[in-house]
Amino acid sequence: MVFSSITFLFYFLPVVLIIYYIMPNKYKNLVLLIASFIFYFFGEPKYILLMAFSIAIAYIFGRLICKYQKTKYSKIFLIIAITIIVGLLAYFKYANFIIKNINLLLNNKIDFINIALPIGISFYTFQIISYLVDVYKGQAKEQKNILKLAMYISLFPQLIAGPIVRYTSIQDQIDNRTHTVEKFALGVRRFIIGLSKKVLLANVLGELATTFLKSNDISVLYCLIYAISITLQIYFDFSGYSDMAIGLGKMFGFEFLENFNYPYIAKSITEFWRRWHISLSTWFRDYLYIPLGGNRTSKLKWLRNIIIVWLLTGLWHGAEWNFIIWGLYFGIFLIIEKLFLGKHLENFPKIVSHIYVLIVVIISFLIFNSEGITKIMQSRNMPFISQEAIYYLKSYIIVILIGIVSATPLLKNIITSTKLKKLSNTLEPIVLVVLMLTCTSYIVDGSFNPFLYFRF
C-alpha cells in the first residue's frame, strides 16, 4: 500500500485517524502499532514475521545492552544484535547479487534463492541499529515496553521509505506528544504538498522518462530531456514521499526531522549531500564515518573512510553494480572537493558552482537509473534533434519548467513574503483543496504511479 493510492487515502488513513483520536491517550500507541502492522501486512504479508523477529531482537538485546552497561558483555551483545540484523538485510537484499557475481566470475551455475526483498527492510534495519548503538552509548534510554518499541520501528508513516527516524529524536514523543488542531492542519498541508509532488510532478515526469526508454527515435535533445526529467522525477518522488511521511507524523502528534532541503540549489557536492536524503547521510556520518575515524586520522585512512561510506551508501540503495558505481562516483567528487576543489568553488561565481553541481548530479542519476544510460551509450550517430524529441518537449515543457522552479525555494519565498503573506494565507486552503482533487483524479484515472524507493 502506497500513500498515493485510493486504498490508503480514502479507506485506511481516515479509519485509522478516527480510531486514533477517539481512543484515550494511553491507547494511541497501540492503535498506531496495530495500524502499522495492518499497513505492512497489506503490502507484504509473508514478511510480517520477519519484521516482528527484528523487533524482538532489538528489544531483547536493547535490554541486555543496558543491563550490562559499562561491561564487556554490553559490547558483545551489541555486536551480536547488529550481526543478526545486518545478516537478515544482507541475506534478503544481497544474496542473489552475490550469487550472480560468483557465477559470472567463476563461470558457475549456482541457483538463485527464491526470495523477494521485504518492503522497507533497509529503513527499519537502520532504525534498529541506531537504537541499539545509542542505547549502548548511553545516548538513548532503553525501551522497556516492547509494544512501544515495536510501534517506533513499524510506524507506518515512515516505514516504507523513511525518513530514517532515530529513536533519540522521538523517544520523548512516544509517551508525551501534543495533538492540536494547528499541528494536524500543518500535517494535512504538508501531506497534500508531498502528494502533489509525487502525483502531479514525479509521475508525469516518470511517464516522459519511460517514453524515452521505449523510443527508437533518439537524439541529443531527447537524451537531454530524459536526463532532466529523470533527475526531477527522482527528487519529487522521494522528497514528496518524505513530505507525506512528515505530514502524517504531524497528524499523529510526531515531529519528524526534515529529509530534503532544496538540494538542487547546492553550490558543491558536499552541500548537496547536506541537503539530499539528510536522514541517510547523517546516519552514515554518525554510525559509520565517525566510528571509522572520520577525518581525524591519517590522510590515507581518511580517504579509506570516505570510500567505505560511499561504497556502502551505493550498496544500500540497491544490489546492482550501477548503485555501487553511483555511490563511489559521489565519493570521488567529495574527496576531490575536500582535497582542493572545495576552496576554489567558494570563489567561483554562484552560477558556475550551481552548473557544476547540476551536471554532476544529472550524470549521477543517469548512472542510478542504469536502463537510461545504457540506452544512451548504445545509441550511435544520433542527430541533435528528432521529431519525437520536439513533440515531447512541447508536450511536457510546462511540467518541466514547473518542476525546475519547484525544486528551488523561489515559490516558497514569494508566498511567504510580507506583501503576499496575507493573500497566500487566504488562498492556501483553496489551493490545497484543488491540488487534492487534482491528485485524486489522476489516481482514479489509473495514471502512471510507481514509487522508486518502494523496495528499499
Q: Which of 137, 155, 177 is the last residue of a domain?
A: 177
**Residue 241 and residue 163 share a domain:** no
Question: Which residue of the set 277, 317, 344, 354 is catalytic?
Answer: 317
Alpha-carbon distance of 262 to 244, in angstroms, equals 16
Alpha-carbon distance of 453 to 317, in angstroms, equals 8
Residue identified by cell 510580507 is 418
Q: Among candidates 278, 250, 275, which has minimal Cα distance to 357?
A: 275
pLDDT for residue 455 is more than 50: no
pLDDT at 448: 57
Look at residue 236 and tell me if it is in a domain. Answer: yes
Count CB neighbours of 66 within 10 A.
Answer: 18
- Number of domains the chain contains: 2
Q: Which of 177, 209, 234 is the last residue of a domain?
A: 177
Look at residue 454 and tell me if it is in a domain. Answer: no
Mean local confidence (pLDDT), 364-390 = 87
pLDDT at 15: 96
pLDDT at 372: 85
Task: Give pLDDT tens digits for 51-60.
Answer: 999 999 999 9
Question: Which domain, by its residues, includes 233?
Answer: 183-444
**Residue 217 and residue 158 share a domain:** no
pLDDT for residue 240 is more than 90: yes
Enter the pTM of the model.
Answer: 0.91
Task: Give pLDDT tens digits for 14-49.
Answer: 999 999 999 999 999 999 999 999 999 887 788 999
Q: Among 71-75, 339-343, 402-406, where is mean pLDDT lowest?
A: 339-343
Alpha-carbon distance of 220 to 389, in angstroms, equals 9
Task: Give pLDDT tens digits for 324-351.
Answer: 999 999 999 999 999 988 788 888 888 9
Mean local confidence (pLDDT), 421-434 = 83
The amino acid at residue 38 is I
Task: Give pLDDT tens digits for 105-145.
Answer: 888 888 888 888 888 899 999 999 999 999 999 999 899 99
Count CB neighbours of 380 within 10 A.
Answer: 6
**Residue 119 and residue 223 share a domain:** no
**Residue 248 and residue 147 share a domain:** no
Look at residue 452 and tell me if it is in a domain. Answer: no
136 within 8 A of 63, measured Cβ to Cβ: no
Count CB neighbours of 428 within 10 A.
Answer: 12
**Residue 194 and residue 311 share a domain:** yes
| Residue 277, C-alpha cell as written in the block | 536524503
**Residue 379 and residue 360 share a domain:** yes
Residue 179 annotated among the catalytic residues of the structure: no
**Residue 215 and residue 173 share a domain:** no
pLDDT at 451: 53
Q: Among candidates 258, 264, 257, 191, which has minimal Cα distance to 232?
A: 264
**Residue 214 and residue 247 share a domain:** yes
Q: Among candidates 319, 357, 314, 322, which has minimal Cα distance to 336?
A: 357
Q: Give the whole-number percent of the chain exceeding pLDDT 70.
A: 97
Mean pLDDT of the chain: 91
| Residue 108, C-alpha cell as written in the block | 558457475
**Residue 226 and residue 157 share a domain:** no
**Residue 207 and residue 162 share a domain:** no
| Residue 102, C-alpha cell as written in the block | 560468483
pLDDT at 303: 93
Task: Give pLDDT tens digits for 274-284.
Answer: 999 999 999 99
Contacts of residue 339, defined as CB under 8 A and 6 or more positions apart, other chains included, come to none
Alpha-carbon distance of 348 to 117, in angstroms, equals 45
Q: Give the whole-number percent of the chain exceeding pLDDT 90.
A: 71
Mean local confidence (pLDDT), 302-314 = 94
pLDDT grade for 150, boundaries at 50, 70 and 90: very high
**Residue 195 and residue 95 share a domain:** no
Q: Which of 157, 177, 197 is the last residue of a domain?
A: 177
Residue 257's SS3 state is coil
Provide the angle, in degrees to the nearest 10, between the axes of the packed helices 181-196 and 220-251. 160
| Residue 322, C-alpha cell as written in the block | 550501477
Count CB neighbours of 345 within 10 A.
Answer: 18
pLDDT at 116: 83
Alpha-carbon distance of 406 to 198, in angstroms, equals 12
Backbone angles phi, psi at 49, to 5 degrees: -70, -30
Look at residue 244 and tell me if it is in a domain. Answer: yes
**Residue 244 and residue 141 share a domain:** no
Q: Ramachandran region of residue 253, left (φ > 0), alpha (ψ -120 to 50) or beta?
A: left
Look at residue 451 and tell me if it is in a domain. Answer: no
Look at residue 1 and tell me if it is in a domain. Answer: no
Alpha-carbon distance of 12 to 4, in angstroms, equals 12
